[in-house]
Amino acid sequence: MPKKVAPLTDTKINKSKPKDKPYKLSDGEGLYIEIFPNGSKLWRVKYILNSKEKRIALGDYPTISLAYARELKQQVKLQVKKGIDPVLNRKIEKERSVTNSFESIANEWYEINSARWAESTKDKIRLYLDKDILPFFKNREIEGIKRIELVSLVRKFEERKAFEPAKKTRLWLNQIFRFALAKGVVDVNPATDLDVVAIQAPKVKHMPSVNFDNLKELLEHVKQTPCSALSKAAIYLLTLTGLRPGELRMCKWGYIDTDNKSITIPADLTKTRKPHTVPLPNQALKILEEIKPVSFHYEYVFIGRDLKKPFSDMTINKCLKMAGYKDKQTGHGFRHLLSTELNSRGYNHDWIEKQLAHGDTDKIRGTYNHASYLDQRRVMMQEWADSIDFDFKVF
């Protein structure tokens, strides 16, 4: 007959002090707590299966309370009674959990779909996955995730007024769960109709931008900042070309044709998903020549701290903020300034729209209007650059 053991109490466990060697305090029926010299206390259950004595760890005390340890012990006993080895069963469940975790499914969805995304889109989705979405569902099986949890995640974006990322996250979550549904990992998609409970975003304001009369002063202030030469060069080139900040940031030296005085942005980087060639005025060519010693031996023109990658998408706006233009000018705002000024000077509307890579709002007209107007735009952008009357030297 087995020796009867007095059940443990929290008081007894808390009063137990570490010794030179590990020792055990038994609670009966195979459950005991092991106390180590460093003071940690670990629950274990001893069981016999197929005439062999085995042990399984339940976790540390007080994370696993005495009451919960007893519940887990009963689960172990029930598995053994059914002929299931608790240690082996845990290993199988862990492997299944990893395979069907939200993280593994989301990463698989990303890898399969990323081939058809623009580089800037891939970078954006990867950033939000790693920074916000995956940590929220860390170590979670996708099947167990409830709709209310998805709403809670999106609320975190909305609470910090990040309404556009919130909108994108609702879309990505729906796509991830649709992917999981197609794989047979989940039976329902809890990410549908999340827009129904979305907090209404405030009306979109146009990107702030100075007018032409204040442009030279802005550029002078940028020149006086302690920003890097590449940051200043990027702002100058946005002014001279009208490129989107994301297109310029991802620009590689291989996209630049100095003989033809142009930059061609490949289709996977443009918003229209079509290659976009931009003429370079003489001032822009001089800027690129000036920064060659900084980054020409790397792939990207505007390298970041990781020399194999471009600088952050916040770099340009951060420099403008340092110049004193917070809420007055953004990198994207240079496009608004260029459009306003060129239209006011009477340049052909189609030339301007082509320079800014805007899609034609008239779909029928856009179907037939494939003209690039490169020669006309080359003259227009050189006249624009000359009119600024600014010394665009970076150093």
pLDDT score of 92: 62
Q: Give the predicted TM-score (pTM) of the model.
A: 0.54
Task: Point out the residues that are catalytic.
Answer: 244, 271, 332, 335, 358, 368
Q: Give the pLDDT confidence of 277-326 residue by residue, as tens digits.
A: 999 999 999 999 999 999 999 999 999 999 999 999 999 999 999 999 99
pLDDT score of 71: 93
Q: How far apart are CA 178 and CA 16, in angstroms?
A: 52
Domains of the chain: 10-87 (3.30.160.390), 101-183 (1.10.150.130), 212-387 (1.10.443.10)
One-letter amino acid for residue 265 of the chain: I
Q: For residue 176, what are the CA distances in angstroms to 110, 115, 136, 236, 365? A: 8, 16, 15, 40, 37
Asked whether residue 365 carries a pLDDT value surpassing 50, the answer given is no
What average pLDDT does range 379-391 have in this prediction?
A: 95
Angle between helices 163-183 and 147-159 (to 10 degrees): 160
Per-position b or e across 148-187, b if 16+ CB within 10 A of its CB:
eebbebbeebbeeebbebbbbbbebbbbbbebbeeeebbe
